[in-house]
């Protein structure tokens, strides 16, 4: 088969994990990328702020990326975009209207808005030509408005990237998943489906977003104190439902948290959110109202350390202070890895006297991802010749693969891939052919990619066993010690008796070395490192980081 009829699909993120979704599609020497997401750091990523996909494969191509297409505005699909645009030459970015609004704000903060060509993706407007690809956008329901599936056509075949979706028949904005167009695509023939696997393990169907609004209507009227609702800042539908209930119950609304304020302003300006001006209050105006007339929308549903809800929980917020009788609704599910931080915030709020409602005790959250029956429906609508589960941990990918088998997809046409796997689609079918090197890019403060594995290893070492700094001073004329060695110990439960023994050992090691005429500073440091490290391990069974400093005067 000629090479011109081969489309290469290379996921750089989102497989075997939740977050940093990014997939490359190559055909005829050109490349488009679907999504550019980030992930939250886990506990072992000490000091790391964000985790991005590894862009090195796109660098190695030595050519511009023809386009980046964004399926929706969640951070795990758009959060890496500013960093990608700084590192790579990208000709244009395609996204729906709300997603573009959120992305423009993000690019403005990075000084990239004017340098980037942004194009609006309009569902139901037919395909557009992007390089050698014909690309179509199909509306799907999700937990943020304006989400889409992406259809990518070339001479190699037709690919459908479902994006994140659910089969919500009563969405808040009335914009249902376009099952009619998906069925038409199935009739035309789909050669490969890349399907969201997040809830593949969960049986049944995902509740409609309207169920959350119904829960708010049952909870809020019965509360005499202030009500706080914490959710993802991008969950515009949930914000709208909370505002609607506030209006019905005579409460004014304050929006707290930088990302929440920003997204609410963008959504209102674009017409995706309807909040009358007379309902909105500034946070500092809350004190003018009794608690039963307040509803506060805030960030922090994931227990982020500097978020509004976390600061409120630990009495560190300038304007909001929890009192007995207040109710806090955490309208989100913790992302894997964030559970402990969320529990800490809940405990802090409960200790302050608030009643905390979350998805384990009340119906205050609905996922934006379809469960097993909805994934079966998607497979039945598209009837793909091959299925590649994406967007999820390996157990989720495996569950999606089982659903595909049950849906009649042949075993050899179900591709369980991982980040860096190279899949080739030809008119003869799809198959795994290669693997490229990929990993993650760590953002630490202003540094992108500066934190290597060795730095994380050192941070873990310091966190677990502490540090011991040994400062010794020698005279440059005869190499003798000028003063007693100084020790600076942090974090390993040091004892005075042990430190005295360490000092004596330092003197003994140096005297032996100097007696043998060994004066090279690096050699002295190595011997001190090994000797003192062994002594402390023998006494404590711990290995603090030993940093010998030898000064010459």
Q: Which residue numbers are catalytic?
A: 196, 369
Q: Which residue has the tokens 């990619």?
A: 449
Q: Residues near 360 by Cβ (< 8 Å), separated by ≥ 6?
A: none
The half-sphere exposure of 356 on its side-chain side, counting CA atoms within 13 A, is: 21
Angle between helices 236-248 and 258-270 (to 10 degrees): 90
Please check whether residue 551 is in contact with residue 471, taking contact to mean a CB–CB distance below 8 angstroms: yes
CA distance 319 to 489: 40
298-302-304 Cα angle (round to 5): 80
Token pair recorded at residue 79: 């959060």
DSSP per-residue codes, 95-119: E-HHHHHHHHHHHHHTT-TTTS-EE
Instruction: Give the pairing type, strands 7-13 and 355-357.
Output: unpaired
CB atoms within 10 A of CB 42: 13
CA distance 280 to 260: 13
Token pair recorded at residue 469: 């700094």
- Angstrom CA distances, 442 to 41, 77, 439, stand at 9, 16, 10
For 269, counting Cβ atoms within 10 Å of its Cβ (0-12 exposed, 13-18 middle, 19+ buried), the class is exposed
């Amino acid at each position: 088969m000629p090479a011109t009829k081969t489309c290469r699909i290379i996921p750089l993120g989102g497989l075997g994990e939740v977050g940093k979704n990014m997939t490359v599609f190559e055909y005829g020497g050109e490349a488009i990328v679907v999504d550019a997401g980030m992930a939250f750091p886990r506990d072992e990523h000490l000091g790391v702020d964000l985790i991005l996909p590894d862009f090195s494969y796109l660098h190695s191509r030595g050519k511009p990326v023809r386009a980046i297409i964004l399926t929706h505005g969640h951070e795990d699909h758009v959060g890496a975009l500013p960093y990608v645009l700084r590192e790579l030459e990208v000709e244009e970015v395609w996204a729906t209207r709300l997603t573009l609004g959120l992305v423009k704000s993000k690019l403005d903060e990075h000084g990239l808005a004017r340098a980037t060509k942004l194009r609006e993706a309009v569902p139901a407007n037919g395909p557009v030509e992007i390089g050698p690809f014909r690309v179509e956008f199909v509306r799907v329901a999700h937990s943020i408005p304006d989400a889409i599936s992406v259809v990518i056509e070339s001479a190699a075949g037709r690919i459908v990237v479902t994006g994140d979706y659910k089969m919500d028949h009563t969405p808040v904005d009335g914009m249902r998943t376009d099952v009619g167009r998906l069925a038409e695509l199935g009739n035309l023939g789909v050669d490969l489906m890349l399907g969201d696997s997040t809830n593949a393990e969960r049986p049944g169907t995902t509740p409609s977003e309207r169920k959350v609004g119904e829960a708010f209507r049952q909870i809020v009227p019965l509360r005499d104190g202030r009500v706080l609702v914490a959710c993802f800042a991008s969950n515009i539908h949930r914000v709208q439902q909370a505002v609607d209930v506030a209006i019905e119950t005579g409460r004014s609304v304050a929006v707290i948290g930088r990302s929440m304020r920003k997204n609410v302003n963008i959504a209102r300006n674009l017409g995706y959110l309807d909040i009358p001006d007379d309902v909105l209050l500034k946070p500092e105006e809350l004190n003018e109202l009794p608690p039963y007339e307040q509803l506060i929308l805030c960030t922090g549903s994931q227990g982020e350390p500097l978020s509004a809800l976390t600061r409120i929980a630990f009495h560190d917020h300038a304007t909001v202070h929890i009192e007995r009788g207040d109710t806090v609704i955490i309208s989100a599910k913790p992302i894997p890895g964030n559970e402990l931080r969320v529990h800490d915030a809940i405990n802090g709020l409960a200790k302050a006297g608030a009643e905390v409602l979350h998805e384990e005790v009340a119906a205050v959250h609905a996922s934006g991802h379809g469960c097993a029956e909805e994934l079966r429906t998607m497979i039945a609508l598209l009837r793909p010749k091959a299925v590649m589960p994406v967007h999820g941990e390996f157990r989720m990918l495996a569950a999606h693969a089982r659903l595909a088998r049950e849906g009649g997809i042949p075993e050899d046409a179900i591709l369980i891939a991982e980040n860096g796997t190279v899949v080739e689609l030809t008119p003869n079918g799809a198959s795994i052919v290669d693997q490229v090197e990929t990993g993650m890019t760590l953002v630490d403060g202003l540094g992108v990619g500066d934190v290597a594995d060795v730095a994380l290893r050192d941070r873990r070492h310091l966190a677990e066993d502490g540090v011991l700094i040994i400062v010794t001073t020698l005279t440059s004329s005869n190499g003798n010690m000028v003063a007693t060695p100084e020790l600076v110990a942090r974090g390993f439960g040091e004892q005075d008796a042990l430190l005295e023994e360490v000092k004596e050992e330092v003197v003994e090691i140096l005297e032996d070395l100097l007696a043998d005429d060994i004066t090279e500073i690096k050699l002295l440091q190595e011997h001190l490192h090994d000797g003192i490290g062994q002594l402390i391990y023998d006494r404590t069974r711990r290995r603090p980081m030993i940093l010998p400093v030898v000064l010459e005067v």
